[in-house]
Amino acid sequence: MEVDILTIFPDMFKPLEESIIKRAREKKLLSVRVVDIREFATDKHKKVDDYPFGGGAGMVMKPEPIFRAVRNVIGDSDNVPVILMSPQGETFNQKIAYELAQYDRMVLICGHYEGVDERVREALVTRELSIGDYVLTGGELPAMVVVDAVARLIPGVLGDETSPKEDSFANGLLEYPQYTRPREYAGMSVPDVLLSGNHEAIRRWRRKKSLERTLLRRPDLLQEVKLSEEDKVLLNEVKEDIKAKIGNNKEE
Ligand code: 9D3
């Protein structure tokens, strides 16, 4: 996938040169081009923002540099998502990540100041995304969040050991607790079942823990997920455990 990121702060994108994203780029599974909107400013001072018509605080990003930058990267091609990162967008989630991963290109525009000239939305933007209800200083970190979440869904980006199909948000439940060596640390031991070698018992324990964790932390997710007959049995066990106070009103 080819991603073009339009920004007035190109130096903020160093994190995309590390770790799994770095490897994905080396393997040519992902190409990230960070485009400095300022290079497309039309005046001699390379101005990218201006005062809002009608008055008010703050500055607004001018349309011309953004239009020219988008035209420069995609020309007249359609079917390329042009995504504006903005606090007013729909909230990004795993489902949207899967949708975007189906494209072989996308353009991300990072908003700044008090916002962008509305004509950018009218004529250029196909989708507007927020990453959640908190106020950041710009769309750069959100753009990196989207690139990261989408890139790892591209086949081959994750090693074979880690399938995105096993992601907690992909199977609709939170993940079960994980342990590694040593078997005992600071007086805390690893649950016996995980050392038992009984794969069926381990699978059942993990599923139950996933259900328990989801019930206690994200009951909203349980409304969405389709539970198997075994899941219903396990979830009832969880609820009985909690009632019997074995749960001590929290996990374990
Ligand atoms: C004056 C009203 N503000 C809206 C709450 C203006 C404003 C604040 C912060 C306009 C832009 C920004 C910068 N944030 C983003 O560009 C942004 C963002 C965010 O702040 N939170 C979550 N997702 C995103 S995506 C882009």
Query: What is the DSSP secondary-structure string of 177-224?
Result: P---S-SEETTEE--GGGGS--HHHHHHHHHHHHHHHHHHH-HHHHHH
Domain termination site, one of 99, 130, 151: 151
Residues 15 and 105 in one domain: yes
Residues 116 and 191 in one domain: no
pLDDT band per the 50, 70, 90 thresholds, residue 247: low
Please report the pLDDT score of residue 114 as a whole number: 83
Phi, psi of 236 (to 5 degrees): -65, -40
Please report the pLDDT score of residue 121 as a whole number: 98
- Which domain, by its residues, includes 201? 184-251
Contacts of residues 119-125 at CB distance under 8 Å and 24 or more positions apart, as own/partner, are: 119/63, 120/61, 120/63, 120/66, 120/67, 120/84, 121/84, 123/67, 124/66, 124/67, 124/70, 124/82, 125/82, 125/83, 125/84
Distance of alpha carbon 237 from alpha carbon 25, whole angstroms: 46
Residues 199 and 138 in one domain: no
Inter-residue contact 185 to 170 (CB < 8 Å)? no
Residues 204 and 121 in one domain: no
Model's pTM, two decimal places? 0.94
Cα atoms in the 13 Å half-sphere on the side-chain side of 68:
14
Domain termination site, one of 126, 151, 176: 151
- Assigned domain for 168 exists: no
Look up 217 and say whether it is catalytic: no
Residues 7 and 104 in one domain: yes
Residues 145 and 197 in one domain: no
Residues 135 and 50 in one domain: yes
- Assigned domain for 166 exists: no
Indicate the average pLDDT of the chain: 95
- Assigned domain for 21 exists: yes
Residue 235, H or E segment: helix 229-243
Inter-residue contact 68 to 195 (CB < 8 Å)? no
- Assigned domain for 175 exists: no
CA of 224 to the centre of ligand 1 (A): 29
* Residue 214: both structure tokens together: 């989801």
Residues 213 and 99 in one domain: no
pLDDT per position as a tens digit, 67-110: 999 999 999 999 999 999 999 999 999 999 999 999 999 999 99
Residue 249, pLDDT above cutoff 70: no
Closest of 103, 99, 110 to residue 145, by C-alpha: 110
Please report the pLDDT score of residue 251 as a whole number: 59
Q: Please give the tally of structural domains in the chain.
A: 2
Contacts of residues 182-189 at CB distance under 8 Å and 24 or more positions apart, as own/partner, are: none
Q: Establish whether residue 60 lines the binding site of ligand 1, counting it when its CB lies within 6 angstroms of any ligand atom.
A: no
Of ligand 1's listed atoms, the one at least distance from the Cα of 86 is 26
- Assigned domain for 172 exists: no
* Residue 155: both structure tokens together: 């086949």
Please report the pLDDT score of residue 171 as a whole number: 80
Distance of alpha carbon 228 from alpha carbon 195, whole angstroms: 26
Residues 17 and 129 in one domain: yes
Catalytic residue (one of 114, 166, 192, 252): 114
Residues 21 and 75 in one domain: yes
Domain termination site, one of 100, 129, 151: 151
Query: Which amino acid, residue 187?
Result: G
pLDDT band per the 50, 70, 90 thresholds, residue 167: low
Distance of alpha carbon 55 from alpha carbon 39, whole angstroms: 27
Residue 50, H or E segment: strand 49-50
Phi, psi of 28 (to 5 degrees): 60, 20
| Chain position carrying tokens 């909230």 | 91
Catalytic residue (one of 65, 117, 152, 164): 152
Distance of alpha carbon 189 from alpha carbon 40, whole angstroms: 60
Residues 34 and 114 in one domain: yes
Best residue for ligand 1 mutational test, from 60, 91, 136 (most atoms within 8 Å of Cβ): 136
Which CATH number is 239's domain given?
Answer: 1.10.1270.20
Look up 160 and say whether it is catalytic: no
Residues 213 and 130 in one domain: no
Which CATH number is 65's domain given?
Answer: 3.40.1280.10
- Assigned domain for 111 exists: yes
